[in-house]
């Protein structure tokens, strides 16, 4: 039986690994190491709280006076206002605190409606078909094909372009610019060179979006950008918030879904019985996707700053404390999900926290669900065999769980 000191040592080592790239392939034992000490663990080294208990994460996410940790970390840099990449990041919906967040979220929800998402279903099916055709064609000679490059990346980009009204031929260019920009998000470690590149990318991205806004102002269409431009015309949205919201929606629309698709395929290949079960029972699709989000949580967590003193899990947390809400860890909490490491596509233990919770609950959750519910069954049923060939490459960025490359050999 390890002593309390040994357990704390393991917990600190786990925190260090989770916070330093490369992100481990299997981070789940690290969350367990933290939970073994406390579901709300106060790190003496980081002077912060790491929360891995499902109930505690759910409650904290819903507490009203919690501020965004990425915002707090970004404005700690004295010259942040001189960098457009940081200024525009701080206009992203997810980084705003109330009351600004409340007003903008309500406006975003008024254009990002369930019916707007439902209307997309036909287009999403067509886009999925298109990317699976390319995958099948490239795989037909028997050579390995990269699932990330051919499907998991471009498919969500194409879907978010369709929803927003970004011309499809510009999707992958915006994607590259967005990748340069997001390197400086969240106040994590980045070099001055990366910051300069992020500023350049932000400038270029702004230019493209400004052109789009001009187009839609002149000729509105049935897309989300037209809806947001109309809000500016009506005086309910500022030009800078239009830019912050549109660019963030674009990025939020692909980054995570890409990870969900690649991790899900890999997880299914590691759990062949469940793969077979899904192929034989197409009606389990909705619960299968929920379970894959729980099991492979694409965003590992989020950081908050306590806006007031809090009491949770037997702890008094002082105002201004940094709190890591480790949603990936909470999604494997055995107190909520019995035998949590087991993939069970029809599991019904309750809602996962993969989309966060409370005021910042993922605005695109239903879109992400629909994208996965369309592409995953289409993919597993299209190919008679799916095998990994070569070495899959995990993403190294901390906080994200997915692949950079997933080479597959596919049977007709």
Binding site for ligand HEM (CB under 6 A): 93-94, 105, 249, 252-253, 256-257, 260, 298-299, 302, 354-356, 360, 362-364, 367-368
Ranked by CB distance to ligand HEM, the top (closest) residue is 364
Listed in sequence order, the DSSP H helices in 170-235 are: 171-182, 192-218, 224-233
Q: Which is nearer to ligand HEM, 364 or 407 (CB)?
A: 364
Q: Which is nearer to ligand HEM, 368 or 379 (CB)?
A: 368
Q: How far is the CB of 380 from ligand HEM (least distance, A)?
A: 18
Contact 404, 153 (CB under 8 A): no
Alpha-carbon distance values, 71 to 7, 121, 125, 238 (Å): 32, 35, 37, 20
Alpha-carbon distance values, 69 to 74, 82, 119, 225, 249 (Å): 9, 20, 35, 28, 20
Of 219, 241, 148, the C-alpha closest to 228 is 241
- Count of all residues that appear for the chain in the document: 412
Q: How far is the CB of 301 from ligand HEM (least distance, A)?
A: 8
Q: How far is the CB of 299 from ligand HEM (least distance, A)?
A: 4
Instruction: State the Cα–Cα distance between residues 328 and 257, nearest whole angstrom.
Output: 15
Taking phi first (over 0 means left), then psi (-120 to 50 degrees means alpha), and beta for anything else, what does residue 164 get?
alpha
Instruction: State the Cα–Cα distance between residues 93 and 86, nearest whole angstrom.
Output: 14
Instruction: State the Cα–Cα distance between residues 308 and 144, nearest whole angstrom.
Output: 53
Q: How far is the CB of 156 from ligand HEM (least distance, A)?
A: 7
Q: Which is nearer to ligand HEM, 202 or 297 (CB)?
A: 297
Q: How far is the CB of 214 from ligand HEM (least distance, A)?
A: 22
Q: How far is the CB of 219 from ligand HEM (least distance, A)?
A: 24
Q: How far is the CB of 373 from ligand HEM (least distance, A)?
A: 11
Contact 305, 69 (CB under 8 A): yes
Q: Which is nearer to ligand HEM, 220 or 358 (CB)?
A: 358
Q: Which is nearer to ligand HEM, 154 or 298 (CB)?
A: 298
Q: Which is nearer to ligand HEM, 43 or 300 (CB)?
A: 300
Q: Which is nearer to ligand HEM, 232 or 359 (CB)?
A: 359
Q: What is the DSSP letter of 226?
A: H
Contact 33, 14 (CB under 8 A): yes
Q: Which is nearer to ligand HEM, 39 or 71 (CB)?
A: 71
Q: Which is nearer to ligand HEM, 35 or 304 (CB)?
A: 304
Alpha-carbon distance values, 233 to 103, 214, 238 (Å): 17, 12, 9
Q: How far is the CB of 117 from ligand HEM (least distance, A)?
A: 9
Alpha-carbon distance values, 107 to 110, 182, 215, 246 (Å): 5, 24, 21, 12
Q: How far is the CB of 58 from ligand HEM (least distance, A)?
A: 12
Of 343, 330, 333, 328, the C-alpha closest to 267 is 343
């Amino acid at each position: 039986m390890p002593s309390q000191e040994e357990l704390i040592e393991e917990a600190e080592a786990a925190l260090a690994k989770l916070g330093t790239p490369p992100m481990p392939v299997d981070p789940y034992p690290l969350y367990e190491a933290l939970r073994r000490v406390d579901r709300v663990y106060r790190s003496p080294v980081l002077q912060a709280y790491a929360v891995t208990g499902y109930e505690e994460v759910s409650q904290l996410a819903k507490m009203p006076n919690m501020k965004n940790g990425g915002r707090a970390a970004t404005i700690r840099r004295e010259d942040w206002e001189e960098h457009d990449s940081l200024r525009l990041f701080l206009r992203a919906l997810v980084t705003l605190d109330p009351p600004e967040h409340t007003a903008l979220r309500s406006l975003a929800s008024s254009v990002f409606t369930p019916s707007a998402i439902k209307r997309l279903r036909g287009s999403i099916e067509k886009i999925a078909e298109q990317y699976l055709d390319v995958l099948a064609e490239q795989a037909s000679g028997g050579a390995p094909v990269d699932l990330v490059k051919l499907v998991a990346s471009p498919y969500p980009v194409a879907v978010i372009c369709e929803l927003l009204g970004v011309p499809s031929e510009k999707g992958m260019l915006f994607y590259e610019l967005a990748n340069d920009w997001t390197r400086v998000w969240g106040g994590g470690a980045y070099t001055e060179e990366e910051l300069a590149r992020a500023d350049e990318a932000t400038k270029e991205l702004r230019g493209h979006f400004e052109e789009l806004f001009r187009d839609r102002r002149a000729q509105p269409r049935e897309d989300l950008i037209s809806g947001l431009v109309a809000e500016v015309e009506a005086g309910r949205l500022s030009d800078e918030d239009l830019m912050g919201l549109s660019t963030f929606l674009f990025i939020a629309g692909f980054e995570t879904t890409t990870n969900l698709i690649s991790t899900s395929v890999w997880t299914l290949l590691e759990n062949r019985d469940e793969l077979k079960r899904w192929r034989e029972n197409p009606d389990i699709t909705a619960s299968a996707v929920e379970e894959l989000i729980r099991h492979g949580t694409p965003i590992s967590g989020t950081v908050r700053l306590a806006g007031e003193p809090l009491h949770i899990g037997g702890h008094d947390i002082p105002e201004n404390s940094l709190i890591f809400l480790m949603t990936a860890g909470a999604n494997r909490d055995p107190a909520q999900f019995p035998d949590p490491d087991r993939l069970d596509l029809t599991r019904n233990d309750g809602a996962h926290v993969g989309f966060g919770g409370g005021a910042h609950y993922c605005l695109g959750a239903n879109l992400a669900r629909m994208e996965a519910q369309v592409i995953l069954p289409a993919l597993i049923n299209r190919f008679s065999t799916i095998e990994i060939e070569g070495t899959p490459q995990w993403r190294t960025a901390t906080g994200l769980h997915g692949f950079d490359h997933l080479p597959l050999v596919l049977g007709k």
